[in-house]
Amino acid sequence: MNFSVTATFTDHAERTKAIGLWSAVSGLGVAIGPVAGGWLLAHFNWDSIFLVNLPIVAVALVAGYWLVPASRSAGVSGSGRLDLAGAALSVAAFTGLTYTIIEAPSNGWLSVRTLGLGAVSIALLALFVAFQARAEHPMLPLRLFRTRASPGPACPSPCCSSPCLVVAFRAFRPARVTAPAEGTVEVPAEVPAEARVLEAVRG
């Protein structure tokens, strides 16, 4: 995200405001998200945590259309071409890695399933990096990491947000209730979501 902000806002003052606003909204989302999600699950159906984002996205799309300047390089040949292969590799790699981390406490961190899924995810991530290095129009140009300004602000972001996401995933997973006749079913846990976040942090 920092790369796109840097490329879109060339004016220093506008770029500073954009990065500040992005950081504030991201921090607010990390702080409010688990609590708001727990409240929605306690009072509404589980799909409410997805539906509540629709009006927010609609407002963001309209505001972005009017406030965010166009960043396409009209003079560059093929600038509008999408890197579909790179997008597919990145989605597959991070989906597998996220699933591995979420399920590792249940499967065991050193189990064959966890290690196998982790190895596949890392291999896909390495393949994504290799593909980006050779692609004519990469989704993530690796040359951006060679600049002085870009890697510094960008690298701490996933390092700080990833543990929060893992804690949230572990805290809001549905509880498993075993019934002798019907088998194992998944129902929302009765423990308040805020308490489950604290329990996940304590391990």
**In this predicted model, what pLDDT tens digit does every residue of 42-73 receive, in sequence order?**
999 888 888 998 998 999 899 888 877 666 65
Rounded CA-CA distance 119/203 in Å is 25
Residue 73 has a CB neighbour count (10 Å cut-off) of 11
Rounded CA-CA distance 51/65 in Å is 22
Rounded CA-CA distance 1/8 in Å is 11
Residue 96 lies in a domain: yes
What domain range includes position 101? 84-136
Residue 73 lies in a domain: no
Residue 92 lies in a domain: yes
C-alpha R_g of the chain: 21
Q: Say if residue 177's pLDDT is above 50.
A: no
Rounded CA-CA distance 188/42 in Å is 9
Q: Say if residue 198's pLDDT is above 60.
A: no
Residue 102 lies in a domain: yes
Residue linked to tokens 């879109």: 8
| Statement: the pTM of the whole predicted model exceeds 0.75 | no
Residue 162 lies in a domain: no
Residue 117 lies in a domain: yes
All residues at 6 or more sequence positions from 149 whose CB lies less than 8 Å from its CB, including other chains: 6
Lowest mean pLDDT among 31-40, 52-61, 102-111, 194-203: 194-203
Residue 103 lies in a domain: yes
Residue 125 lies in a domain: yes
The confidence score (pLDDT) of residue 126 equals 95
What's the domain count of the chain?
Answer: 1
